[in-house]
Amino acid sequence: MPIPAIAQNAPLKIGVLTVKTGFLAAGGIHCEEGITTFLRDRNYTLAGRKIEMVVADSGGNPAGAKTKAVELVEREKVSMIMGPFAAFEHLAIVDYLAQHKIPTFGYAGAEDVTQRKANPYVVRTSNSAAQCMYPAADYAFKEMGKKRAVALADDFAFGYEQVGGFQRLFEDLGGRVVKKLWSPGNTPDYTPFISQVQDCDVLALGLTGANPIRFVKQFRELGFSQPIVGGSTIADDTIMKGFGDEAVGMISSIPYSLDIDTPENKAFLASIRKYYGNDVAVGLYSAAFYVNGMILEAALQKSGGKLDNPDQFIKDVKAVKLEKTPRGPISFDEYGNITFTNYVRKAEKVGGKIVNKIVKTYPNTSQFWTYDPKKFLANPVYSRDYPPLKT
C-alpha cells in the first residue's frame, strides 16, 4: 500500500542520543553541536525533506541510555538515531534498537557492534575503539623505534578494546606490552598507577574525558619521561587548552584534526564558529556528527527523502562514499563500520598554546587494520585479559 502523501511530506524525526551530564558531558555536547551545525547549514532540509531533531540526554550510563532510547522510539517515534556516546551505553541498547528496526548511526566504539554482534540496522560513523590504536602502534614501533610499552586506560570496555588493538599490532610488529593498568573512569589521583609505569620505553594511553589532562600533568610532575602515545580521546582538539607544557611531544591518533588543510574542513570550522562563536571547542566529536549529517543527506538523496523502509535505508547508508568531508574521504565496510583517513599528530607549543600538528596520515584505515576480517573475527573481542600478556 502506498504511503499517504501527508506522511511523506511530514518532517523526518531523527533522534540524537548523547551525553549532556556527567564526566563525559563535554564530548556529548560537542556531538550535538556538530549535527546542529550541519542541519542549520541546510536549513533543516535534506533531499527536499524537512528534518526535526530530538535530542535526549543519556546521562552517560547504561540505564539512562536504555530509558532515553525507549522514549525516542516509542514516544517520539523517531525514524533513526544518532548515538549513543559511550561503549557501555551502546551495548545496553543495541538489541532493543535492532528489534525495533531503528537505523542507528552509532558513535560508541564498542568493537562488537560492527564485528561479532553486528546487526543489520547499525552502522558506526565514528571509529571502533581499537581502530585508531593500530596507527598509534604502527607509528610507535616504526617511526619512534619503541619496543617495550606499558598500557594504561580507563577501566571499562572502551579502554580494554583500545589497549587490545594497540597490543595486538605492537606485538605483531615485534614490540612487547609488558604491563596493562586499568584506572576508574573518574580517577582524581593517578599516583598509584603512575608508580607502576616501569621497564618500558613508551606509554600507550587510553583515557577519556578530562582524564588525560589530569594524568599527563601528574605523570610529568612525578618525573616520568617516557613518550606518550594514544588514540582518539587522549588529545582531542577540544581538550588541548587544558594542557600545559607537560603535553609537548604527546602523540595522538585520531580520525579528525583541526589542522586538516582542505576547503571542506575550513567550511565546517567557519560554520560551527558562526553558530557557536569563535571560542567554541571543535574536535572529533563535532566533526563526526557533522559528517553524520552528510551521510544522512547522501542516503536520503537516494530514497527521495524517504525513510519508511529501514532495510533499504541502511543499505543506502552502507553504499555511501564521500570523498570530500571535513574528516577526509569516508566509506563503509560490509559490517557497517566506517573506513577513513587516520591522522597521527604531535602536540606542540605554538604562540603560547599547546596544539596538535599532523605528522603522518594513514588512508583507508579499517576496523580490521590489515588483518583478514574472517580470521580477525575468529578471535575473542578485546578485553581486560585478551590479548594476554606474554610471560
pLDDT-based confidence at residue 24 (cuts at 50, 70, 90): confident
CA dihedral 315, 318, 323, 328 (to 10 degrees): 150
Residue 200 has pLDDT above 60, yes or no: yes
CA geometry: angle 369, 198, 187, nearest 5 deg:
75
- Asked if residue 305 lies in contact with residue 46, where contact means CB atoms within 8 angstroms, the answer is yes
Provide the pLDDT confidence category of residue 8 given band limits of 50, 70 and 90.
low
Summarised one tens digit per residue, pLDDT across range 41-59 is 999 999 999 999 999 999 9
How distant, in Å, are the alpha carbons of 25, 36, 253 from that of 236? 14, 20, 9
Please tell me the distance from the alpha carbon of residue 247 to that of residue 242, in angstroms, as a whole number: 10
Report pLDDT digits (tens) over 336-383. Answer: 999 999 999 999 999 999 999 999 999 999 999 999 999 999 999 999
Q: How does pLDDT run across 239-251, given as a tens digit for each residue?
A: 999 999 999 999 9
Pairing mode of beta strands 330-332, 338-350: antiparallel
Question: Quick check: 1 pLDDT over 70?
Answer: no
pLDDT, one tens digit per residue, over 294-308 is 999 999 999 999 999
CATH number of 133-259+342-377: 3.40.50.2300
Cell numbers given for 162: 583500545
Higher-confidence residue: 88 or 315? Answer: 315
Q: Does the structure show a pLDDT above 70 at 282?
A: yes
- Those residues with Cβ within 8 angstroms of residue 225's Cβ, 6 or more apart along the chain or in another chain: none
Separation between Cα atoms, residue 241 and residue 268, nearest integer Å: 21
Quick one: what percent of the chain has pLDDT higher than 70? Answer: 98
Strands 49-57 and 80-82: unpaired
User: What architecture is domain 5-128+261-340?
Assistant: 3-Layer(aba) Sandwich (3.40)
Mind spelling out the 3-state secondary structure of 100-155? Answer: CCCCEEECCCCHHHHCCCCCCCEEECCCCCCCCHHHHHHHHHHHCCCCEEEEEEEC
* pLDDT on residue 25: 87
- Each residue's pLDDT tens digit, 121-174: 999 999 999 999 999 999 999 999 999 999 999 999 899 999 999 999 999 999
Residues of the chain with CATH 3.40.50.2300: 5-128+261-340, 133-259+342-377
Provide CB contacts within 8 A for 375, sequence distance 6+. Answer: none
